[in-house]
Amino acid sequence: MFVTTSFNPTPKQIREARTLASKLGVPFIERKRASLNELFSELHQEKACIVTKQEWRYEDIQGHVFFFHPNMSILRIKHLIKGMPDSFIQSSGMEQGDHILDCTLGMGADAIVSSFVVGEQGRVVGLESEPAIAAIVQHGLKTYDSKRKPVNEAMRRIEVVQADYDSYLRESPDCSYDIVCFDPMFRQTVKESAAMQALKPLANPAPLNKWAVKEALRVARKAVLLKERVVSGEFERLGFQVVKEASNYAWGIIKPREGAW
């Protein structure tokens, strides 16, 4: 992987690109007039992060493109403002002032909705194990303008931590969060979901392990949540009770006092 800019970069873009390259531990390459395919060929590389005037994004030689967008979180927050239910919020019992640990941040939609619900008195920490995703999503959460004040405020409050959840949970004190949630990458993503298809080449494909669930139950005061497909067998394997089903996925829950760990 390498980091570059769009054509005719501003000094700000160049500074951001150099900082990003240093953070990722990869080279910064001046774009000049070269196309990405030319850079891929010249550098014998297949992946790049590009700093543009509008956003940071990832592209690879196979044509996958990933950039931050709040996606369905905008509509979900709009529905919550109107008093409509949200399956994640209902399943978790999340309330204003809660502290939330999102162990699989990804594109950040659940973290954004969580941040809106818990408000200024709450806290949302999003863990992302993959450095490029963490950097792109963190930058997007701090800079993206949704044109909606509640969404922007929710995004700005999220704390992004580049870490795997095994290590982070192991180092977290008992009962340090109200809710811990996991949304691992599905083995088969929804083909119609362009955002998920773009994220998949970058995402960590490892399935959730029982040790992490056990640690999450130690860290959570109220509940541990898992988003998965009902037919995957993961709820049964890991001891979650399904509480909300949608067309393509479901939420499962374990409450710490009920966990058989």
Region 206-219: mean pLDDT is: 94
Q: Which of 63, 83, 101 is the last residue of a domain?
A: 63
pLDDT at 122 over 50: yes
Q: Are 226 and 180 in contact (CB under 8 A)?
A: no
Shared domain for 115 and 240, answered yes or no, is yes
Say what the pLDDT of residue 206 is.
79
Q: What is the pLDDT of residue 11?
A: 97
For residue 137, which of 166, 184, 104 has the smallest C-alpha distance?
104
pLDDT at 68 over 60: yes
Per-residue pLDDT tens digits for 144-180: 999 999 999 999 999 999 999 999 999 999 999 999 9
pLDDT of the residue at 70: 94
Residue 68 lies in a domain: no
Contact 74, 107 (CB under 8 A): no
Q: How confident is the model at residue 196 (pLDDT cuts 50, 70, 90)?
A: low
pLDDT band at 227 (very low <50, low <70, confident <90, very high): very high
Structure tokens at 163: 């870490």
Q: What is the CATH number of the domain that holds 59?
A: 3.40.50.10480
* Statement to judge: residues 51 and 136 lie in one domain: no
Residues 6+ apart with CB under 8 A from 21: 2, 3, 27, 28, 49
Whether residue 50 is found in the same domain as residue 87: no
- Residue 126 sits in the same domain as residue 36: no
Statement to judge: residues 94 and 26 lie in one domain: no
**pLDDT value at residue 201:** 61
Which pLDDT score is estimated for 113? 98
Give the percent of the chain with pLDDT over 90.
84
CATH number at 132 reads: 3.40.50.150
Tell me the average pLDDT across 193-200: 58
Contacts of 252 (CB under 8 A, 6+ apart): 225, 226, 227, 228, 235, 238, 240, 241, 242, 243
| Predicted local confidence at residue 120, as pLDDT | 97
What is the pLDDT confidence band of residue 258, given thresholds at 50, 70 and 90? low
Indicate if 58 and 78 belong to the same structural domain.
no
Q: Which sign, positive or negative, has the C-alpha torsion 167, 256, 115, 111?
A: positive
Given this model, what pLDDT does residue 248 score? 81
Single-letter residue type at 20: L
> Do 248 and 192 share a structural domain?
yes
Domain check: are 109 and 215 in the same one? yes
Q: Is residue 37 part of a domain?
A: yes
For residues 20 and 9, the answer to whether their CB atoms sit within 8 Å is no
The pLDDT of 126-143, averaged and rounded, is 96
Of the pLDDT bands very low, low, confident and very high (cuts 50, 70, 90), residue 244 is: confident
Residues 74-108 have pLDDT tens digits of 999 999 999 999 999 999 999 999 999 999 999 99
Q: 112 pLDDT exceeds 80?
A: yes
Query: Looking at residue 200, what is its pLDDT?
Result: 61
Q: How many domains does the chain have?
A: 2
Q: What confidence category does residue 195 fall into, taking pLDDT thresholds of 50, 70 and 90?
A: low
Report the DSSP pairing between strands 250-254 and 220-228.
Answer: antiparallel
The pLDDT mean for the chain works out to 91
The whole domain housing 43 covers 2-63
Q: For position 202, what pLDDT does the model report?
A: 65
Mean pLDDT of 34-46: 96
pLDDT-based confidence at residue 261 (cuts at 50, 70, 90): very low
Q: Are residues 166 and 51 in the same domain?
A: no
- pLDDT reading at 187 higher than 50: no
Spell out the alpha helix ranges (H) of the chain.
Answer: 11-24, 36-43, 73-81, 87-92, 109-118, 131-143, 149-157, 165-171, 194-199, 210-219, 234-238
Instruction: Judge contact between 67 and 55, C-beta under 8 A.
Output: yes
Of 17, 34, 63, the one marking the end of a domain is: 63
Query: Do 188 and 234 sit in the same domain of this protein?
Result: yes
* Residues 149, 58 share a domain: no
Please indicate, yes or no, whether residues 170 and 197 belong to a single structural domain of this protein.
yes
